Amino acid sequence: MTTTFDEMSSAQRSIERDWVPNRFEPRDTWLPIAHGRDIDAFASRRQVYSAPCFLWRAKGKLHASRRHPDVPAHRRGSARSEREDSWTGDYPVLERYGYVWVWRGDPNRADASLVPDVPYLPFDAALPAYMQGTVRFDCCAPLLIENLLDLTHADFLHAGVLGDAHSDEDRIDVQYTSETVTMIRHCKNKSVAPIMRWFGGVQAKYQDVRAVIHVHVRSAVALAYGRYTPGIDLKLFHPCVPESRDRCRLNFTLDARSAPFPLRYLMPITPYIVGPQDNVMVGPQNSRYARPDPRRDLFSRFDGAGARYRFLLQQIARRQDAGDFAYAPDARPDRDVRALLGMTE
Protein backbone atom coordinates (compact mmCIF):
# COMPACT_ATOMS: atom_id res chain seq x y z
CA MET A 1 0.00 0.00 0.00
CA THR A 2 1.12 3.55 -0.69
CA THR A 3 -0.19 6.57 1.12
CA THR A 4 0.16 10.28 1.58
CA PHE A 5 -0.50 12.23 4.72
CA ASP A 6 -3.64 13.79 3.23
CA GLU A 7 -5.21 10.35 2.98
CA MET A 8 -5.00 9.89 6.74
CA SER A 9 -8.00 10.57 8.91
CA SER A 10 -8.27 13.47 11.33
CA ALA A 11 -8.23 10.94 14.19
CA GLN A 12 -4.88 9.80 12.94
CA ARG A 13 -3.60 13.36 12.89
CA SER A 14 -4.56 13.92 16.51
CA ILE A 15 -2.59 10.81 17.38
CA GLU A 16 0.45 12.50 15.91
CA ARG A 17 -0.09 15.69 17.91
CA ASP A 18 -0.35 13.74 21.17
CA TRP A 19 2.62 11.57 20.32
CA VAL A 20 5.01 10.53 23.09
CA PRO A 21 7.46 7.96 21.75
CA ASN A 22 8.43 6.04 24.88
CA ARG A 23 5.05 5.29 26.43
CA PHE A 24 4.39 1.89 24.89
CA GLU A 25 6.47 -1.30 25.20
CA PRO A 26 5.33 -3.77 22.55
CA ARG A 27 5.05 -7.46 23.39
CA ASP A 28 5.19 -10.75 21.52
CA THR A 29 8.21 -9.83 19.51
CA TRP A 30 11.76 -11.07 18.92
CA LEU A 31 14.45 -8.55 19.88
CA PRO A 32 18.03 -9.00 18.60
CA ILE A 33 19.63 -7.81 21.82
CA ALA A 34 23.24 -8.96 21.31
CA HIS A 35 25.76 -10.00 18.70
CA GLY A 36 26.11 -13.77 18.99
CA ARG A 37 29.91 -13.53 19.11
CA ASP A 38 29.70 -11.46 22.32
CA ILE A 39 27.95 -14.21 24.28
CA ASP A 40 29.95 -17.02 25.88
CA ALA A 41 29.90 -19.14 29.07
CA PHE A 42 30.04 -16.04 31.29
CA ALA A 43 26.66 -14.39 31.76
CA SER A 44 26.42 -11.05 29.93
CA ARG A 45 23.95 -8.53 31.32
CA ARG A 46 21.79 -6.71 28.81
CA GLN A 47 18.82 -4.45 29.39
CA VAL A 48 15.46 -4.44 27.64
CA TYR A 49 12.72 -1.99 28.64
CA SER A 50 14.57 -1.29 31.91
CA ALA A 51 14.63 -4.98 32.90
CA PRO A 52 17.83 -7.03 33.05
CA CYS A 53 18.34 -9.88 30.63
CA PHE A 54 21.30 -12.20 31.18
CA LEU A 55 22.66 -14.14 28.23
CA TRP A 56 25.09 -17.08 28.37
CA ARG A 57 25.97 -20.39 26.76
CA ALA A 58 26.11 -23.71 28.58
CA LYS A 59 26.80 -27.11 27.00
CA GLY A 60 26.40 -25.61 23.56
CA LYS A 61 23.00 -24.17 24.38
CA LEU A 62 22.06 -20.50 24.49
CA HIS A 63 20.23 -19.18 27.56
CA ALA A 64 18.38 -15.94 28.29
CA SER A 65 16.98 -15.10 31.69
CA ARG A 66 15.96 -12.20 33.88
CA ARG A 67 18.09 -13.84 36.57
CA HIS A 68 21.83 -14.32 36.72
CA PRO A 69 22.58 -18.07 36.45
CA ASP A 70 24.66 -18.04 39.68
CA VAL A 71 21.86 -16.60 41.83
CA PRO A 72 19.86 -19.34 43.64
CA ALA A 73 16.35 -19.70 42.25
CA HIS A 74 14.59 -18.73 45.51
CA ARG A 75 16.49 -15.41 45.68
CA ARG A 76 16.06 -14.43 42.07
CA GLY A 77 13.84 -11.68 40.71
CA SER A 78 11.78 -9.04 42.41
CA ALA A 79 8.07 -9.17 43.12
CA ARG A 80 7.59 -5.63 41.86
CA SER A 81 9.07 -6.10 38.44
CA GLU A 82 7.39 -9.48 37.97
CA ARG A 83 4.01 -7.99 38.70
CA GLU A 84 4.56 -5.19 36.24
CA ASP A 85 5.96 -7.36 33.54
CA SER A 86 5.10 -10.99 33.02
CA TRP A 87 8.35 -11.31 31.05
CA THR A 88 10.05 -13.25 33.85
CA GLY A 89 12.36 -16.15 34.39
CA ASP A 90 13.84 -17.77 31.33
CA TYR A 91 13.03 -16.32 27.95
CA PRO A 92 12.71 -18.08 24.64
CA VAL A 93 15.93 -17.38 22.78
CA LEU A 94 17.42 -18.26 19.41
CA GLU A 95 20.36 -17.31 17.24
CA ARG A 96 20.00 -16.06 13.67
CA TYR A 97 21.86 -13.69 11.31
CA GLY A 98 24.70 -13.56 13.89
CA TYR A 99 22.38 -12.21 16.62
CA VAL A 100 20.89 -13.48 19.84
CA TRP A 101 17.13 -12.90 19.56
CA VAL A 102 15.11 -12.90 22.77
CA TRP A 103 11.33 -13.23 22.81
CA ARG A 104 9.55 -10.56 24.78
CA GLY A 105 6.00 -11.70 25.46
CA ASP A 106 4.04 -14.86 26.16
CA PRO A 107 6.53 -17.78 25.84
CA ASN A 108 3.75 -19.99 24.49
CA ARG A 109 3.48 -17.74 21.45
CA ALA A 110 7.21 -17.62 20.71
CA ASP A 111 7.55 -18.80 17.13
CA ALA A 112 10.80 -18.75 15.14
CA SER A 113 8.89 -17.76 12.01
CA LEU A 114 8.17 -14.38 13.63
CA VAL A 115 11.85 -13.34 13.37
CA PRO A 116 12.13 -10.58 10.74
CA ASP A 117 13.63 -11.62 7.41
CA VAL A 118 17.09 -10.11 6.82
CA PRO A 119 17.86 -11.42 3.33
CA TYR A 120 21.37 -9.95 2.99
CA LEU A 121 22.80 -11.56 6.13
CA PRO A 122 23.81 -15.24 6.40
CA PHE A 123 20.99 -17.13 8.11
CA ASP A 124 23.13 -19.28 10.41
CA ALA A 125 26.38 -17.35 10.74
CA ALA A 126 27.78 -13.95 11.62
CA LEU A 127 29.70 -11.67 9.29
CA PRO A 128 33.32 -10.87 10.28
CA ALA A 129 33.72 -8.99 13.57
CA TYR A 130 34.96 -5.83 11.79
CA MET A 131 31.56 -5.54 10.05
CA GLN A 132 29.73 -5.51 13.39
CA GLY A 133 29.66 -2.95 16.17
CA THR A 134 27.65 -1.16 18.82
CA VAL A 135 26.62 2.50 19.12
CA ARG A 136 24.64 3.87 22.07
CA PHE A 137 22.01 6.58 21.86
CA ASP A 138 20.47 8.85 24.52
CA CYS A 139 16.95 8.30 23.26
CA CYS A 140 14.26 5.63 23.23
CA ALA A 141 14.18 3.23 20.29
CA PRO A 142 11.16 4.82 18.50
CA LEU A 143 12.98 8.17 18.22
CA LEU A 144 15.95 6.53 16.56
CA ILE A 145 13.60 4.71 14.19
CA GLU A 146 11.87 7.98 13.32
CA ASN A 147 15.20 9.61 12.65
CA LEU A 148 16.17 6.79 10.33
CA LEU A 149 12.81 6.79 8.51
CA ASP A 150 13.53 10.27 7.23
CA LEU A 151 16.32 9.39 4.84
CA THR A 152 16.59 12.98 3.62
CA HIS A 153 18.17 14.05 6.93
CA ALA A 154 21.41 12.39 5.81
CA ASP A 155 21.92 15.17 3.21
CA PHE A 156 22.30 17.70 6.01
CA LEU A 157 23.48 15.80 9.09
CA HIS A 158 25.78 13.30 7.36
CA ALA A 159 26.67 15.16 4.14
CA GLY A 160 30.39 14.76 4.83
CA VAL A 161 30.08 10.97 4.66
CA LEU A 162 27.02 10.26 2.50
CA GLY A 163 26.77 13.28 0.18
CA ASP A 164 24.82 16.55 0.20
CA ALA A 165 21.29 17.46 -0.95
CA HIS A 166 22.11 18.18 -4.59
CA SER A 167 20.28 16.00 -7.10
CA ASP A 168 18.33 16.43 -10.34
CA GLU A 169 15.40 14.41 -9.03
CA ASP A 170 14.42 13.23 -5.56
CA ARG A 171 11.40 10.96 -5.17
CA ILE A 172 10.07 9.50 -1.92
CA ASP A 173 7.71 6.53 -1.76
CA VAL A 174 6.23 5.20 1.48
CA GLN A 175 4.80 1.70 1.74
CA TYR A 176 3.41 -0.04 4.76
CA THR A 177 1.69 -3.04 6.29
CA SER A 178 0.07 -3.25 9.74
CA GLU A 179 3.52 -3.95 11.27
CA THR A 180 6.07 -2.38 8.90
CA VAL A 181 6.91 0.98 7.32
CA THR A 182 9.15 1.27 4.28
CA MET A 183 10.62 4.47 2.94
CA ILE A 184 12.07 4.29 -0.56
CA ARG A 185 14.07 7.19 -1.93
CA HIS A 186 15.13 7.55 -5.55
CA CYS A 187 17.68 10.21 -6.47
CA LYS A 188 19.03 11.01 -9.92
CA ASN A 189 22.50 12.51 -10.23
CA LYS A 190 22.95 13.01 -6.50
CA SER A 191 26.26 14.34 -5.18
CA VAL A 192 28.45 11.29 -4.81
CA ALA A 193 28.86 9.93 -1.26
CA PRO A 194 32.33 11.17 -0.22
CA ILE A 195 33.17 7.83 1.38
CA MET A 196 32.84 6.12 -2.01
CA ARG A 197 34.98 8.73 -3.71
CA TRP A 198 37.72 8.51 -1.09
CA PHE A 199 37.94 4.77 -0.67
CA GLY A 200 35.65 3.07 -3.16
CA GLY A 201 37.27 4.10 -6.42
CA VAL A 202 34.18 6.01 -7.63
CA GLN A 203 35.48 8.81 -9.89
CA ALA A 204 32.10 10.30 -10.86
CA LYS A 205 30.84 13.51 -9.29
CA TYR A 206 27.23 12.33 -9.22
CA GLN A 207 25.51 9.00 -8.75
CA ASP A 208 21.99 7.58 -8.85
CA VAL A 209 20.75 6.37 -5.48
CA ARG A 210 17.96 4.02 -4.49
CA ALA A 211 17.88 3.93 -0.69
CA VAL A 212 15.40 1.89 1.34
CA ILE A 213 14.63 1.83 5.05
CA HIS A 214 12.37 -1.04 6.05
CA VAL A 215 11.18 -0.90 9.68
CA HIS A 216 9.57 -3.64 11.75
CA VAL A 217 7.55 -1.49 14.14
CA ARG A 218 7.06 -4.00 16.96
CA SER A 219 10.70 -5.05 17.28
CA ALA A 220 12.28 -1.64 16.44
CA VAL A 221 14.39 -3.41 13.85
CA ALA A 222 15.38 -1.57 10.66
CA LEU A 223 16.86 -2.86 7.42
CA ALA A 224 18.73 -0.28 5.37
CA TYR A 225 19.60 -1.02 1.76
CA GLY A 226 21.19 1.50 -0.53
CA ARG A 227 22.07 0.99 -4.18
CA TYR A 228 24.56 3.54 -5.53
CA THR A 229 25.17 3.69 -9.30
CA PRO A 230 28.06 4.02 -10.00
CA GLY A 231 29.17 2.65 -6.67
CA ILE A 232 28.30 -0.24 -4.43
CA ASP A 233 25.36 -1.53 -2.42
CA LEU A 234 25.24 -0.38 1.20
CA LYS A 235 23.59 -3.05 3.35
CA LEU A 236 23.04 -2.23 7.00
CA PHE A 237 21.13 -4.20 9.61
CA HIS A 238 20.04 -1.65 12.19
CA PRO A 239 18.24 -3.02 15.27
CA CYS A 240 17.37 -0.34 17.87
CA VAL A 241 17.46 -2.32 21.11
CA PRO A 242 15.02 -0.60 23.53
CA GLU A 243 17.05 -0.48 26.74
CA SER A 244 14.87 2.04 28.56
CA ARG A 245 12.69 5.12 28.05
CA ASP A 246 15.76 7.23 27.33
CA ARG A 247 18.40 4.84 26.06
CA CYS A 248 18.74 2.53 23.11
CA ARG A 249 21.56 0.49 21.73
CA LEU A 250 22.38 -0.13 18.10
CA ASN A 251 24.08 -3.50 17.49
CA PHE A 252 24.72 -3.02 13.79
CA THR A 253 25.99 -5.30 11.07
CA LEU A 254 27.23 -3.53 7.95
CA ASP A 255 27.61 -6.03 5.13
CA ALA A 256 30.63 -4.69 3.25
CA ARG A 257 31.57 -7.98 1.57
CA SER A 258 31.02 -6.61 -1.93
CA ALA A 259 33.06 -3.43 -1.31
CA PRO A 260 36.62 -3.18 -2.65
CA PHE A 261 39.61 -2.88 -0.34
CA PRO A 262 40.04 -0.64 1.66
CA LEU A 263 36.36 0.44 1.64
CA ARG A 264 35.40 -3.00 2.95
CA TYR A 265 37.22 -2.20 6.19
CA LEU A 266 36.40 1.50 6.37
CA MET A 267 32.68 1.36 5.65
CA PRO A 268 31.81 -0.46 8.91
CA ILE A 269 33.36 2.49 10.76
CA THR A 270 30.72 4.91 9.40
CA PRO A 271 28.11 4.12 12.13
CA TYR A 272 30.63 5.44 14.67
CA ILE A 273 30.75 8.77 12.77
CA VAL A 274 27.08 8.96 11.75
CA GLY A 275 25.64 7.66 15.07
CA PRO A 276 27.00 10.46 17.30
CA GLN A 277 25.79 13.02 14.70
CA ASP A 278 22.28 11.57 15.06
CA ASN A 279 22.61 11.51 18.83
CA VAL A 280 23.16 15.29 18.87
CA MET A 281 19.62 15.57 17.49
CA VAL A 282 17.71 12.72 19.16
CA GLY A 283 19.28 13.02 22.65
CA PRO A 284 17.87 16.48 23.49
CA GLN A 285 14.66 15.61 21.64
CA ASN A 286 14.06 12.61 23.92
CA SER A 287 14.23 14.65 27.13
CA ARG A 288 11.81 17.21 25.68
CA TYR A 289 9.00 14.63 25.85
CA ALA A 290 9.38 14.51 29.65
CA ARG A 291 8.52 18.22 29.90
CA PRO A 292 4.95 19.51 30.07
CA ASP A 293 5.33 21.78 26.99
CA PRO A 294 2.25 21.61 24.80
CA ARG A 295 4.36 21.08 21.70
CA ARG A 296 7.07 18.56 22.23
CA ASP A 297 8.40 18.22 18.71
CA LEU A 298 8.42 20.01 15.39
CA PHE A 299 6.77 17.19 13.52
CA SER A 300 6.15 17.81 9.83
CA ARG A 301 2.94 16.49 8.30
CA PHE A 302 4.84 16.02 5.05
CA ASP A 303 6.91 13.31 6.70
CA GLY A 304 4.74 10.44 5.45
CA ALA A 305 6.97 7.65 6.75
CA GLY A 306 7.25 9.16 10.25
CA ALA A 307 3.50 9.79 10.42
CA ARG A 308 2.78 6.22 9.38
CA TYR A 309 5.25 4.87 11.94
CA ARG A 310 3.59 6.78 14.77
CA PHE A 311 0.18 5.63 13.64
CA LEU A 312 1.16 1.96 13.41
CA LEU A 313 2.84 1.98 16.82
CA GLN A 314 -0.29 3.48 18.34
CA GLN A 315 -2.48 0.92 16.59
CA ILE A 316 -0.35 -1.96 17.89
CA ALA A 317 -0.55 -0.43 21.39
CA ARG A 318 -4.35 -0.30 21.14
CA ARG A 319 -4.58 -3.89 19.95
CA GLN A 320 -2.27 -5.10 22.70
CA ASP A 321 -4.15 -3.10 25.36
CA ALA A 322 -7.25 -5.00 24.20
CA GLY A 323 -5.42 -8.33 24.53
CA ASP A 324 -4.71 -8.89 20.84
CA PHE A 325 -1.05 -9.83 20.30
CA ALA A 326 -1.39 -11.54 16.92
CA TYR A 327 0.36 -10.48 13.73
CA ALA A 328 -2.13 -9.80 10.95
CA PRO A 329 -1.72 -11.88 7.76
CA ASP A 330 -0.44 -8.82 5.83
CA ALA A 331 2.56 -8.49 8.12
CA ARG A 332 4.34 -11.76 8.70
CA PRO A 333 7.82 -10.70 9.91
CA ASP A 334 9.44 -13.49 7.88
CA ARG A 335 7.96 -12.18 4.61
CA ASP A 336 10.52 -12.17 1.79
CA VAL A 337 11.56 -8.52 1.41
CA ARG A 338 14.24 -8.87 -1.28
CA ALA A 339 12.13 -7.16 -3.96
CA LEU A 340 11.03 -4.43 -1.56
CA LEU A 341 14.64 -3.66 -0.67
CA GLY A 342 15.59 -3.54 -4.34
CA MET A 343 17.96 -6.51 -4.15
CA THR A 344 16.40 -8.21 -7.15
CA GLU A 345 16.44 -5.24 -9.55
Which residues contact Fe ion (rule: CB under 5 A)?
A: 278
Residue among 117 and 278 whose Cβ is closer to Fe ion = 278
Q: How far is the CB of 43 from Fe ion (least distance, A)?
A: 33
Residues in the chain, total = 345
Q: How far is the CB of 303 from Fe ion (least distance, A)?
A: 14
Residue among 96 and 185 whose Cβ is closer to Fe ion = 185
Across the beta sheet with 93-96, the strand order is 29-35, 99-104, 93-96
| Nearest-angstrom CA–CA distance, 245 and 75 | 27
Residue among 1 and 280 whose Cβ is closer to Fe ion = 280
Minimal CB distance residue for Fe ion: 278
Q: How far is the CB of 275 from Fe ion (least distance, A)?
A: 8
Q: How far is the CB of 112 from Fe ion (least distance, A)?
A: 32
Tell which phi-psi region holds residue 231, choosing left (phi > 0), alpha (psi between -120 and 50) or beta. left
Residue among 42 and 156 whose Cβ is closer to Fe ion = 156
Q: How far is the CB of 144 from Fe ion (least distance, A)?
A: 9
Residue among 25 and 278 whose Cβ is closer to Fe ion = 278
Neighbours of 128 (CB within 10 A): 14
Residue among 208 and 278 whose Cβ is closer to Fe ion = 278
Q: How far is the CB of 236 from Fe ion (least distance, A)?
A: 11
Q: How far is the CB of 113 from Fe ion (least distance, A)?
A: 31
Residue among 93 and 248 whose Cβ is closer to Fe ion = 248
The phi and psi torsions of 173 (rounded to 5 degrees) equal -125, 135
Q: How far is the CB of 158 from Fe ion (least distance, A)?
A: 6
Residue among 161 and 340 whose Cβ is closer to Fe ion = 161
| Nearest-angstrom CA–CA distance, 54 and 51 | 10
